[in-house]
Every structure is written in C-alpha cells, then in structure tokens.
A and B are shown apart, each in its own frame.
Chain A
Amino acid sequence: MRVALFVPCYVDLIKPEVGVSVVRVLRRLGVDVIYPEGQTCCGQPAFNSGFFDEARAVGRHFLEVFERERFDYVVCPSGSCTTMVSHYYPFIFKDLPEERERSEGFAERVREFSDFLVNVLGVKDLGARLEGKAVFHCGCHQRRELGVLDEPYGLLRNVEGLDLVDWQNEELCCGFGGTFSVKMPDVSTAMADEKIKALDESGADTLISGDSSCLMHLEGRLRRKGHDTRVLHLAQVLDDGKAG
C-alpha cells in the first residue's frame, strides 16, 4: 500500500508535528509513505472567499504535482482540505472538461486520514494509549460532505486510557470558516465560546479534532480565556499523544 501524503499548508507551516504523527502512524501500519514536495496548498482560502479563478490556478498546480506520482491513495489529515480536493475541484472545474475529468478521477483516491485508516486499511484499534478525558470535534466538511463521523469516534474509543465523553452542541460549527474568522470576528468568537462552554460542561481536559484549522481557532480562544485544555489532532492521539 503506497500513500502520497497531502499536508495542509497550515499543518506544514504551523503544526508540522501533526504531519509527523500521520507519517509515523501510517508507517507502523506498513504503509509506504511518499511526500510530493511540490505541493503547497489546496486553494481553499481563495475558493472560500469567492476567488474561483485563483483557486483554479492553485488547483491545477495541485493536480500536476500529484499526477506525477505513483500511489494507491492520497491521504490528508484534514476533512476540509480533503473536501476541497474531492468535492470542490470538480465544482470549480465544472466548465473545463479536461480539468474536470482529471479532478473527478483523482477525487476517488483522496481520503481523509481516519476514513483511510478505517475504511481502506480496515484498522480500528491502533493500540494507542493516552490518559485523559476528551471530547471530539468533527469538522463540518468532514461531517457533512464526507460523511466521516463514526470513523474518528471508533478509533478514539479504542485508545487505551482515554475517556471519550459526549458534549452539548456536538454538531455545531466551531466558527473558523477560513476568512470568516477575520471577516466576522465577533460572531466567529461567539461561536467558539459556545463550543468552549460545552467543553467546560463536559468536564473534558482534552480537545481532539481531525481538522487543525478548527483546533487553531478553538485553541486560540481557549488560551485567550486562560484555559489549559490539552489540544491534539487525531493523528497525534493515535501516535500515543505526541504533542510535538
């Protein structure tokens, strides 16, 4: 099994430890991991702000970089970036038949990290361990476009020592939304506060998600409010809670 790693730009630049955990977890499962070094970004920031031409240009570059490689799957530790490539590339290339076909063919082989582990590798228990009481935040794209919700929960329930608890408003968006977080900052912050209130009520000391963008936003607000909640990406938890 050969996997090409697609590392979101903010993971590359801000939270590289998440990428490192992904590699370690995959290798432990016997997967051959390559990292196409020409990759930069999936183009979602431009796309979300309505700059479709710019998104298309970046998307073309992305397709070229990955089409040069040989792999069984592309794996990405982010629901929103996976959705951008698998769902929204065909959307933005809708009127360009050649690119559309290329992106449609490609889409089938791009998988979010937990989806890949459970549905392709058939693995649910990685023998990971992490002590703590945690809640899981499922990114909106992952939940609604990809429909990958049971998979991360299943993986986390098998982590030894981890008490995974329910929390209120579990399905509510964290409020990041890309540029939304700076365009509508008061609303974005209020949405984060809603999630943090639920986190507090749950008694959890750990916040886990499959999307680093959500985590960056929630962690930013948690720290500003003086919370010392442990914040981890799913890949880090499965890598025995490696914080970096």
Chain B
Amino acid sequence: METRKPARERETDDRRDEGISSGVEGFNDRARRAVADQRLHDSIEVFTHKSVAGRNAVLDALPEAPELRERAYRIKQETMAHLDRYLEQMADAVEARSGNVFFATDGEDVVRYIGDLARSKGAKVITKSKSMATEEIELNKRLEEDYADLDLEIVETDLGEWIAQLAGDTPSHIVGPILHMNRKRITEVLSRTAGEELPPDVEALGSFARRRLREKFLTADIGITGANFGVAETGTVVTVTNEGNARLVTSVPPVHVVVMGIEKLVPCFEDLSVFVRLLARSSTGQKLSVYTNFITGPRQTGELDGAEELHLILMDNGRSKLLGTEFEEALYCIRCGACLNVCPVYRQTGGHAYGSTYSGPIGAVITPLLKGHDEAKDLPYASSLCGACWEACPVGIPLHDLLLKLRNQQVEEGLAGKAQEIAFKGFESTMKRPVLYNISSRAGRLAQKPLEKDGSMRPLPGPLSAWTDSREMPPLAAKSFRELWKEGI
C-alpha cells in the first residue's frame, strides 16, 4: 500500500490546463509550431491514414451503412426535439432501478455533486475512464482544488489518458489521446512514475501500466465514467472501450458515477443497434470495440461485484441552448473522431492547435457554441470548408455548413473587426455595379505595375503578405476575359 502524499506531490497530480486558457494566441500561431514539427506530422499522418483506411474498408463492407447514417440522424433529431421528455424518462427509469439521478446545469454543479459524494463516502481513490465531458469541465483539477482537504487521488485509467495525466499534458485526439507523444517521452514519463528506468518497448511499458493501474482499480472507492449513449426507455448507460478500463471502473468500486452530456440520449434500446454498428467502424475501423457495456442500475441482489450505488449526472453545460436552433445538429455527434481523421487541417496541426478539449472539425464547431465566441474566435476559421468532415460523419452532421453559420454569427455580433467589415462592404458595392467593377480592375492593373516582377507580384503589404510570404501571386492579366470577349474570341 502506497503511503499517502499530498495531492500536488502525488504521481497522479493532475495539473492540466484547459487549452482555452491560451485564448490570447490564435489558431494559426499555435498551428505554426505544429506545422514545423515533422515528427508530429508523421505521427498524425500514420494514425489518420490507418484510421481512415480501416474505416473505409469496414463501412464499405456494410451494405446497410447509408441507411444507418440517415437513421442515426433521424434518431438524434427526434431525441433533441423532445429532449425534456426523454431526460425525464431516463431519470425515471434509472430511479426505478435504484439508481440516483442528478441534473447538473454546468461543470460547477458536477464538481459539487461528486465532491460532496466523495466526502460523504470518505473516498480516497477515484478511478476514471475516458470521458470528454469530464475534461470539458476540468473535473479532476477542480475536485483536487475545491476539495483539497479530502486528499483525493483521481486516476485516469485509459492508457493514453493516464500517460497524459502523468505528463501534465492534455489529449490531442478523441480516440488516440497521446498521438502527439513519442515513445521516448512516454518512457520518460512512465519511468519517473515507476521510480526506475523502464525499457522503451511497448511490452515493458504496457505491462508496467497494467500492473500499476490494476492496484488503483482494485482500491478505488468511486469509479467515474462518461457515457457513449444513454437509453431513455430503459435507463441504460452504454460505455465502449478497447482496453476494458471502463468495465473495471464500473465493476469493482462500490460507487459508480456517470457524467453524461444530455445530448447522449437515444429514445429506446433498439436505437442502439444503429449507433453500435456505426461507432466503432467510423472510429477505429473495427466492427465492434472490445468492450461494449450496458449498465442498467446498480448491481442486483445476489451479485457480488458491480457498483452498489449508481449516480447518473445529466449535464447541460451549454448544450440546451442549441436545441431548436440552426446549430442543433452539432448535438448529434457521437464522438467517433472520424472528422478529425479526414480533416486536412487537423492533419497538419494536430489537436492541441485548437486549444480546446474538442479539436478537429467538431471541436471548431462546438467549442464556440458551448463556450461562446469570445473564447474561441479563431476556431470557425480554422477550416478551408472542404467538407470532408461532413462526408465522413456517420450521423451526417453538416459540420462545414455549421462553421459557415458560426462565421456569420460572428459577423452579426460585430466580432469580425472593422477592417473586414469595410472590405466586404466595399466588395459588395463593387460587385453590384459592373461599371465600378470594371473601373476597379483597370485601376488595379495600373496600380500593380510597380509591384510586378517577372510575371509575379513582389511581396505585398498588409493581409496579402500572408500570401506572398510563402507563395507567388500572379498579377492581374493585361486584358480581362470580358475585354477579350468584346474584342472577339
């Protein structure tokens, strides 16, 4: 048995900062560093390539895939249309099976509830399986700070999440959290935790992790998971992993807490047939993840393991304000990560450049929606609008159109900046009047003369320098198409 050290000195001291706190830097600045990192680029390329190839093969082999995609969209649409009713049904069903239900408006509520629960149980060790919802609210950090007197040890159990936690780092991909960490770094981190030099091979590192985390699994007082899905009809919570950590988090400790975003609900158990067939396939190219677990209430009489108490926390944290709006579709996401894997921008920058719990296309959409534009001004522009995300999404969410709408929202709220407003007003004036357009283009041709050299533009000032810094820019043609047309083609 390990002697208890103060939280800040313990090996699982979670000091991760939510990326949004780096709001001063823009996406391009963070991305610039990522883009220069060849090793990161190679890791992302291999990971995304493999994931996409797997996904293509396994979905191509599923004849009903197109139909499932549409059904998934319709099920989510129906769920959101009557979310209050389904939430109530879920709560009733869980309570009918002797579970406890708590409605949390925001992260603060969640932290309070879990902290108070931990206090009432005299809990010391908490094991956690991967949950983006808990990362979104910085649960670990806030519990350690606000309930410091409890001396809680909160241990991430997903291998990648645990390594990130030990390193004081944050995940950079929904499915492969430490995609950005190389073996050398991982070996360093785990050796430090082990208190001895571990060999840099996967077998040794993985075995150490298994042994060390096994100790935590078996001594945990409370297990916290997220939920991949919640079934309103039956009160069932679904967890999906390849490692089996969610199973151990929910089977061993006497208390199980689920932190579930309210949008994770589906109306009935049968609906899972659609989502379970799509999730693993879109995410990792597997037909099914290794452990797909359906939990309905705490353990039944006669069972020796499984939680004695189940606490389901239904968390809003900004989701409900999207209901019925043009952004509602952002709530249909099942967090498979397919959009990250196909995104050409993500491919170059990795997840940390987004500065948010959620990265890639879905991150660029929901971060400003959940946290407000002030905190994520750049993200709607972190996209070339190629539409690959929409194409890959197993639920058919038009992420690229949602990004456009977010840009429009920023303009409407006056966040676009005076320079752009003036530029596009000018654009409108010119483009509405052919005469003005013609005058402007002739003027442009005159103006560019001193700036042109050898068929290309010299380095240009202002915003256009962003182009000429790395690319040649062609000059305006001596004669425009309409002039050539007038002369006769």
**Direct A–B contact in complex, judged by CB atoms less than 8 Å apart:** yes
- Chain A residue numbers with a CB within 8 Å of B437 are 40-41
Decide if the interface of chain B is mainly helix, strand, loop or mixed: helix
A54 CB–B CB distance under 8 Å = yes
On whether the beta carbons of B428 and A58 are closer than 8 Å, the reply is yes
Q: Mark B429-467, 1 if CB is under 8 A from A, else 0.
A: 011111001000100100000000000100000011011
Among A158-195, those with CB < 8 Å from B are 171-173, 175-192, 194
On whether the beta carbons of A188 and B384 are closer than 8 Å, the reply is yes
Given A47-B404, A177-B383, A184-B382, does the pair A16, B388 have CB atoms closer than 8 Å?
A: no
- Chain A residue numbers with a CB within 8 Å of B482 are 7, 12, 35, 37
Bound CA span A91–B483, Å: 33
B31 CB–A CB distance under 8 Å = yes
On whether the beta carbons of A16 and B470 are closer than 8 Å, the reply is no
A97 CB–B CB distance under 8 Å = no
- Chain A residue numbers with a CB within 8 Å of B185 are none
Which residue of A60, A182, A187, A194 contacts B463 across the interface (Cβ within 8 Å)?
A182
- Chain B residue numbers with a CB within 8 Å of A187 are 27-28, 31, 35, 345, 348-349, 382
Which residue of A41, A58, A188, A223 contacts B472 across the interface (Cβ within 8 Å)?
A223
Given A16-B479, A19-B481, does the pair A52, B408 have CB atoms closer than 8 Å?
A: yes
- Chain B residue numbers with a CB within 8 Å of A51 are 408, 411, 416, 420, 424, 427-428
Which residue of A40, A50, A184 contacts B27 across the interface (Cβ within 8 Å)?
A184
On whether the beta carbons of B424 and A172 are closer than 8 Å, the reply is no
A96 CB–B CB distance under 8 Å = no
- Chain B residue numbers with a CB within 8 Å of A184 are 27-28, 31, 345, 381-382
Bound CA span A141–B27, Å: 24
Among B330-384, those with CB < 8 Å from A are 344-345, 347-349, 380-384
Output the nearest chain A residue to B381 by Cβ-Cβ distance: A183
On whether the beta carbons of B432 and A61 are closer than 8 Å, the reply is yes
On whether the beta carbons of A46 and B28 are closer than 8 Å, the reply is no
Which of B35, B344, B464, B474 has the most C-beta atoms of chain A within 10 angstroms of its own C-beta? B344
On whether the beta carbons of A54 and B428 are closer than 8 Å, the reply is yes
Among A31-88, those with CB < 8 Å from B are 35, 37-41, 43, 45-52, 54, 57-58, 60-61
- Chain A residue numbers with a CB within 8 Å of B387 are 140-141, 144-145
Range for the number of chain A residues in contact with chain B: 35 or more
Given A16-B480, A50-B408, A191-B384, does the pair A181, B28 have CB atoms closer than 8 Å?
A: no
Which residue of B388, B404, B424, B479 contacts A144 across the interface (Cβ within 8 Å)?
B388
Output the nearest chain B residue to A60 by Cβ-Cβ distance: B432
Which residue of A38, A47, A144, A190 contacts B35 across the interface (Cβ within 8 Å)?
A190
Bound CA span A86–B383, Å: 22
Which residue of A91, A171, A173, A221 contacts B384 across the interface (Cβ within 8 Å)?
A173
Which residue of B348, B420, B425, B474 contacts A14 across the interface (Cβ within 8 Å)?
B474
Which residue of A20, A188, A220 contacts B474 across the interface (Cβ within 8 Å)?
A220
A11 CB–B CB distance under 8 Å = yes
On whether the beta carbons of B27 and A185 are closer than 8 Å, the reply is no
Bound CA span A15–B474, Å: 9
Bound CA span A217–B474, Å: 10
Which residue of B431, B466, B481 contacts A20 across the interface (Cβ within 8 Å)?
B481
Among A136-162, those with CB < 8 Å from B are 140-141, 144-145
Bound CA span A38–B437, Å: 10
- Chain A residue numbers with a CB within 8 Å of B428 are 46, 51, 54, 57-58
- Chain B residue numbers with a CB within 8 Å of A180 are 381, 383-385
Which of A17, A171, A184, A217 has the most C-beta atoms of chain B within 10 angstroms of its own C-beta? A184
Bound CA span A194–B484, Å: 36
B25 CB–A CB distance under 8 Å = no
- Chain B residue numbers with a CB within 8 Å of A49 are 407, 411, 416, 420, 424
- Chain B residue numbers with a CB within 8 Å of A192 are 471
Output the nearest chain B residue to A7 by Cβ-Cβ distance: B481
A219 CB–B CB distance under 8 Å = yes
- Chain A residue numbers with a CB within 8 Å of B463 are 182
Q: Mark B239-266, 1 if CB is under 8 A from A, else 0.
A: 0000000000000000000000000000
On whether the beta carbons of B344 and A186 are closer than 8 Å, the reply is no
Which residue of B28, B470, B489 contacts A224 across the interface (Cβ within 8 Å)?
B470
Bound CA span A65–B209, Å: 68
Bound CA span A49–B380, Å: 10
**Closest approach, in angstroms, between the C-beta of B342 and any C-beta of chain A?**
8
Bound CA span A217–B386, Å: 15
Bound CA span A46–B424, Å: 6
Given A50-B408, A140-B384, does the pair A12, B480 have CB atoms closer than 8 Å?
A: yes
Output the nearest chain B residue to A221 by Cβ-Cβ distance: B471
B390 CB–A CB distance under 8 Å = yes
A24 CB–B CB distance under 8 Å = yes
On whether the beta carbons of B466 and A182 are closer than 8 Å, the reply is yes
B7 CB–A CB distance under 8 Å = no
B273 CB–A CB distance under 8 Å = no
Bound CA span A12–B244, Å: 60
Bound CA span A50–B464, Å: 19
Bound CA span A51–B432, Å: 15
**Additional A-B contacts beyond A13-B481, A185-B470, A219-B474 (18; CB < 8 A):** A7-B481, A7-B482, A19-B485, A49-B424, A50-B409, A52-B411, A144-B390, A177-B384, A179-B381, A181-B384, A181-B466, A182-B463, A186-B32, A187-B345, A189-B470, A189-B471, A221-B470, A224-B471
- Could you name 17 residue pairs across A and B whose Cβ atoms are closer than 8 Å? A13-B480, A16-B480, A20-B489, A39-B434, A40-B430, A45-B427, A46-B427, A51-B416, A51-B420, A54-B427, A173-B386, A177-B383, A177-B384, A183-B28, A185-B470, A189-B471, A191-B344
The 3 closest A-B pairs by CB, nearest first: A177-B384, A50-B407, A220-B471
